[in-house]
Each structure stands twice: as structure tokens, then as C-alpha cells.
Amino acid sequence: MKYDVVIIGGSAAGLITAKTAKLAHPDKSVLIVRKEEISLVPCGIPYIFSTLNSIDDNKMGIDPIKKLGVDFLIEEVEKVDTESKTVFTSKTEIKYDKLVFATGSTPFVPPIPGVDLDGVFIIPKDYDYLKKIMVPISEADNIVVIGAGFIGVEMSDELRHQGKNVTLVEAMDRVLPLAFDEDISEIVNEQLVSNGLNIKTGKKVKSIAGKNGKVEGVELEDGTTLKADAVILSIGYKPATKLAADAGLFMGRYNAIWTDEYQRTSTPDIFAAGDCAEHKDFFTRKSTKLMLASTATFDARVTGMNLFGIKLIKQNKGNISIFSSAINGLAVGAAGITEATAKSEGFEIKIGKFTAIDRHPGNIPDKSSQTVKLIFSGKGGILLGAQVATGKSAGELINVLGMAIQQGMTAIDIVTIQFGTHPLLTAAPTMYPAIVAAESVARDICCG
Ligand SMILES: Cc1cc2nc3c(=O)[nH]c(=O)nc-3n(C[C@H](O)[C@H](O)[C@H](O)COP(=O)(O)OP(=O)(O)OC[C@H]3O[C@@H](n4cnc5c(N)ncnc54)[C@H](O)[C@@H]3O)c2cc1C
């Protein structure tokens, strides 16, 4: 079997690389090799536990990709020989001209005693595993979720909506500690507590206790034991890169595949995109552990377009982490670096922050409070980061602020943005939080 382009992995990065490659180079043959017959929309996984009717409502359709002429092979790749340019599964050998690693990531399992007990679960992007664990999770009354990043928070919120007694444990001092500063985390915390969630921040897990091989509780380092019929580990994900490392590709930090700005690896004709590839911070160019579907599809578009020569020139270098989530009706978003990270990285900064109602007049139905926090560089007032907590518009607002970061906009640029408002859709023009938040910093720059 021989293909012009072989892509290992068929989730966010693999599918969009294939689609982009086929549209940009229609004469080239493209094959996706992936392990799973059915794949899930990864970001939808927390919602299979309550908001969606069933796990099957979260399947990722591949018919549009197949219709473009992309072929699929459902097998696990076991070896890549870069000399003969061949990919091996247990049954098939495939020759390639260009190869793309889009092998993604798998959950990190911490070395805590008791993680292998019955009733301790991870959240992989795996249809069969998740379908199986939904049963014991739905039968559990007391659930402990370990790790208050986005996945832990979303899982906890969903399980509360199922009426479970849920405790969320986080070693750091706040929920969503990497995305938000303390003040915005506090808004999220209040929202979670109002949904009946028990939150234990600043608490480290010592071990998971069990009886007859089945989980019974979670022991914290402070001596407390939390009762648990089920435990969910959401400590993070690690790049799935053994195959690439065995093939001799150069690895970057955190065991992710090193690439240049065009997703080219250290081996000619081999690319890497998505969670398995190394990402660099937009401002510091340090390696980050950033793993997002939006970043994976961004990598994939760059890869697919540039497989046969650099056609799509990237103006930006490095990645801006842009997250959003909805927690018990409160939408939150973060882009760029937090105030805490900016300080620890040695940036001189200025903060702008404003809260108003996201509709106008303020007593209109369906309104909610909108807080926008902007982190600017101290001297030039360049936007480094943004955090938003509001009604549903947070998802789009944070994307716009992410674009402002990417474009190097300053507080003055933001204050002089021309924007539209409407009573049923946005905050009032007189107190549009994203603009007013920038005003004090712009004033400092202009008027000393
Ligand atoms: C619960 C959850 C919620 C999330 N929510 C969000 C969100 O709201 N927003 C957001 O931006 N991101 C979110 N993410 C992150 C996002 O899911 C990942 O960044 C994204 O899935 C990365 O896509 P990928 O294609 O790089 O890798 P993956 O999705 O991990 O896919 C890897 C693919 O490679 C295949 N593969 C691996 N090894 C082999 C092999 N040897 N042979 C054949 N096939 C192989 C796998 O089978 C799979 O098809 C979430 C993740 C999780 C787990």
C-alpha cells in the first residue's frame, strides 16, 4: 500500500490535517490510520455525563472527510521506519511520501497509592472505555474528582447536575489555577459552590483507600478522608509520542515532538500536529504543556497546507492559550498569560478590570454580570492576557481578545476600537467592560 500522505491519528489534528491536505493538494492520496472505529468530540466528553442524552450524541462524524476522498484504516501503528518511509501495523505496511504524527495525548496517572483500585477512573478520549465507566459512575453516590483544571471542573459540575455528592480536590490554591488569577477563579468557585459542589483547594491527595480491591475513600495529606464510591483523576494529559521517539524523531520539552513553525519535525518529510507536538508560549517562547483542540486544528491547517512546500506563511510565532468553559451557567474564558504568570516571568505589568451588566438597560431579562480583566505590559501597554467571566458571550469575547493579543494591540488600540452594541446582545456602549477595562491603562500611557 502506498499513499502520498499518511496521517497517524484521526481526531482533531489528524482529521483537519487530512481535510486541509486534500483541499490544498487534490491530486495527492491521503490516508488516516487510527486506532478507533468511533471517535468522540473530545471537548464534549464531560457533557456525556449529564447535558447530552447519551455518549452517542458526542460522536465525531467523519463522512465529510471521507467524501473528500480521504481513506481510513482502523489499525494501530506499531512502528515507523523513516529510512524506507514505511508505517507498520500488525497487519499492514504502508509506504508514504509525507508522514504526519497526530497521535495526541493520554491521561496522566499520578503515582498515588490506590490508583489501580476498582472505581478509580481516568477520562481518555476513548468511546469504549467511557461507555463502560458511565455505568459505575451513574451508580456512585459519592464521587471525588482530583484536579481542578478545566476537565475536573467541567466533570464535577456535570456530576452535580446528576445529583451526585461531588468533592473536587486541588493541590494548588484555587480552581482553574493555570488559566485564571485568584479574583476570577473566585467567581468560578462561587458558581461551583452554588451548584452544591464541595471544593478542597490547597489540599494534596496522599492515597486512595479501598477494601477488597474497590475504592472507598480519598486520603488527603492533612489527615482528612473523603468518602468515595468513585474517583475521577483529572490531573492532566501527556503527549503520546513513544512511536515518534522510537522512530528517532527529536523530542522537545515535556516529551512532545519538536517541530519548527511549520510543524516540520527533525526528520525530513515528517510533520507533527496537535497534542503530540511541542508548543511554545507566544510571549516567552518557552515550551508549554498547552493541549487544546483549537491549537490542534490550528497546527493541522498549517501542516495540511504546507506538506509539499511552504505556502501558508505564519505571521505569529508561538501559541496563545485560549480557553473557555461554561460552569453552571457562567461562561468563562482566558487568553494569553495571567497576572500571576506575568509576575513570575518577570514582566512589568498594569492591570485593567471592569464589571458591568452584559445587556442594557441593566434590568433587561437574560442579563448577567460581565467581568473583564486585562493584563498589559507596564511600559508600552501591550495586551498580554485577558480573563472574562460572564453570560454565554464569554466564548466569543475571549476569542476577540485572543486576536487582540496576537495582533500586539495596546490599551490605546483597545480603547479606540470601533464596536457595535445592542440591548439584547451586548453591554451598553457607555460601560462596555472590555473597553472600560483598558481605559485606566490607556489614560496612564496618554496622560502620564
Ligand atoms: C474531557 C476533555 C475535554 C476537553 N475540552 C476541551 C475544550 O473545551 N476545548 C479545547 O480546545 N480542548 C479541549 N480538550 C483538549 C482536546 O481534546 C485535545 O487538545 C485534542 O483532542 C487534541 O487533538 P489531537 O488530534 O492532537 O489528539 P487526540 O484527540 O488525542 O487524538 C489522537 C489520535 O491518534 C490516534 N493514535 C494514537 N496513537 C496511535 C497509533 N499508534 N496508531 C494509530 N492511531 C493512533 C488516536 O487513536 C486518536 O485518533 C479536552 C480534552 C478532554 C480529554
Q: Which residue has the cell 451588566?
A: 357
pLDDT in tens, 273-292: 999 999 999 999 999 999 99
- What's the confidence (pLDDT) of residue 411? 98
Residue 317's pLDDT band (boundaries 50, 70, 90)? confident
What are the b/e assignments for 159-168, b being 16+ CB within 10 Å?
bbbeebbbbb
Q: What are phi and psi of 258, to 5 degrees?
A: -65, 135
Atom of ligand 1 nearest to the CA of 125: 53
* Span from the CA of 39 to the centroid of ligand 1 (angstroms): 10
* pTM given for the model: 0.95
- Cα(15) to centroid of ligand 1, in Å? 11
Whether residue 198 contacts residue 157, with contact meaning beta carbons closer than 8 Å, is answered with no
| Cell 474517583 -> residue | 231
Longest dimension (CA), the chain: 71
Q: What mean pLDDT comes out for the span 201-213? A: 97
From atom 4 of ligand 1, which residue's Cα is the shortest distance away? 43
| Distance of CA 239 from the midpoint of ligand 1 (Å) | 10
Q: Give the DSSP letter of residue 58.
A: G
Q: Output the CA torsion 75→61→25→101 (10° steps).
A: -40
**Ligand 1: residue whose CA is nearest its atom 7:** 43
Question: Of all protein residues, whose CA lies closest to atom 1 belonging to ligand 1?
Answer: 45
What is the band of 191 on the pLDDT scale with cuts at 50, 70, 90?
very high
In angstroms, the Cα distances linking 112 to 116, 142, 189, 206, 255 are 9, 20, 26, 7, 22
Task: Provide the total of helices (H) and of strands (E) in the chain, helices listed first.
Answer: 11, 24
Give 42 Cα–ligand 1 centroid separation in angstroms: 6
| 71 — pLDDT class (breaks 50, 70, 90) | very high
Q: Residues enclosing ligand 1, CB less than 6 A?
A: 8-14, 33-36, 39, 42-43, 45-46, 76-77, 102-105, 123, 125, 151, 240, 243, 274-275, 291-294, 296
**Local confidence band at 362 (pLDDT 50, 70, 90 cut-offs):** confident
CA of 12 to the centre of ligand 1 (A): 6
How far apart are the CA of 61 and the centre of ligand 1, in A?
15
- The grid coordinates of residue 245 equal 521517539
* Mean pLDDT calculated for residue range 34-57: 95
Model confidence over 88-125: pLDDT tens digits?
A: 999 999 999 999 999 999 999 999 999 999 999 999 99
Give ∠ CA 136-109-9 in degrees, rounded to 5: 90
Burial status of residue 346 (CB atoms within 10 A of its CB: 0-12, 13-18, 19 or more): exposed
- The minimum-distance atom of ligand 1 relative to the CA of 299 is 26
- pLDDT reported for residue 53: 83
- Which positions ≥6 away from 438 have C-beta within 8 Å? 352, 374, 376, 411, 414, 415
Evaluate whether 224 touches 260 at the Cβ level (below 8 Å): no
Average pLDDT, the chain: 96
Are 5 and 100 within 8 A, CB to CB? yes
Ligand 1, atom 2, residue with closest C-alpha:
43
pLDDT-derived band at 16, boundaries 50, 70, 90: very high
Atom of ligand 1 nearest to the CA of 44: 3
Q: For residue 293, report the distance from its CA to the centre of ligand 1, in Å.
A: 7
Residue 287 carries which side chain, given as an amino acid letter?
S
Please give the average per-residue pLDDT across 387-404, as a whole number: 94
User: pLDDT band at residue 267, thresholds of 50, 70 and 90?
Assistant: very high
Question: Which of 126, 291, 301 best tests ligand 1's pocket when mutated (most atoms within 8 Å of CB)?
Answer: 291
CA of residue 275 to ligand 1 center, whole Å:
7
DSSP labels, 420-435? ---TTTS--GGG-HHH
Q: Which of 7, 17, 31, 35 to mutate to test the pocket of ligand 1 (most atoms within 8 A of CB)?
A: 35
> Per residue in 179-190, pLDDT tens?
999 999 999 999
Evaluate if residue 3 carries a pLDDT over 80: yes
pLDDT average, residue stretch 217-224: 97
**Count of CB atoms situated within 10 Å of the CB of 178:** 18
CA–CA distance, 38 with 154 (Å, rounded to integer): 23
CA of 68 to the centre of ligand 1 (A): 22
Contact 276, 34 (CB under 8 A): no
